[in-house]
Amino acid sequence: MFFIPSMSARLMTGDADLLPCTPAGIQQLLIRSGVKIDGAEVVVVGRSNIVGKPIANILLQKNKGANATVTLCHTHTLDVAFHTRYADILIVAAGRPKYITADMVKEGAVVIDVGVNQIGTSKSGKTHSGRRCRLRKCKRKSFNDHPGAGRRRTDDDYYVDVKYPESC
């Protein structure tokens, strides 16, 4: 429905009656989590017609729960880290697992990973997907790939969860 030129145009001008599901869900996740969007520097990594372009357009609008400064990057952006390090809110929908690393995120930034990627198969041949939509707040500016002898690295080494509604 949102691939029809007239619907894309209405989304870009702020006249859309309906919003695409995933981008609308991302916006609601930010709003319900109490993340300040108005005036925030938002970087969207991914230019798909399903997530990247719509969420960029939604957050650009002069509306409640939007009004952000948005930068749209993609996998061919020459220096993605340059852009992501300035983001107050980083939305990643690049289509590549582990494309963004912790050293590419500024301390205190809110990170939403909208990744759905095939990341391997089990011994029985079952596909494992990296399906998730997480809202995280960056705890550290960078990380060490080798956390120390006898200690495994965990998500807590890099992120602190932000509260969000049970429905997410």
In a domain, 106, yes or no: yes
Of 71, 43, 70, 57, whose CA–CA distance to 10 is shortest?
Answer: 57
Number of H helices, E strands in the chain: 4, 8
pLDDT for the residue 146: 35
In a domain, 165, yes or no: no
In a domain, 68, yes or no: yes
In a domain, 67, yes or no: yes
26 Cβ partners below 8 Å, 6+ apart?
A: 51, 55, 91, 112, 114, 133
Task: Strand 159-161: give its sheet, edge to edge.
Answer: 69-73, 41-45, 89-92, 110-113, 134-138, 159-161
- For the chain, the domain total comes to 1
In a domain, 55, yes or no: yes
> How far is 15 from 63, CA to CA, in rounded Å?
11
pLDDT for the residue 165: 37
Per-residue confidence in pLDDT tens, the chain, 168 aa: 556 777 778 777 777 777 888 899 999 999 998 999 999 999 999 999 889 999 999 999 998 999 999 999 998 999 999 999 999 999 999 888 778 888 899 988 999 988 766 666 667 766 555 544 445 555 543 333 333 444 444 444 333 333 333 433
In a domain, 49, yes or no: yes
pLDDT for the residue 81: 94
pLDDT for the residue 147: 38
Domain enclosing residue 108, as ranges = 5-117+132-140+152-158
pLDDT for the residue 138: 58
pLDDT for the residue 96: 82
pLDDT for the residue 156: 42
DSSP secondary structure letters along 15-82: --SS--HHHHHHHHHHHHTT---TT-EEEEE---TTTHHHHHHHHHSSSTT---EEEEE-TT-TTHHH
pLDDT for the residue 119: 62
CATH number at residue 26: 3.40.50.720
Q: Which two tokens stand for residue 7?
A: 């619907």
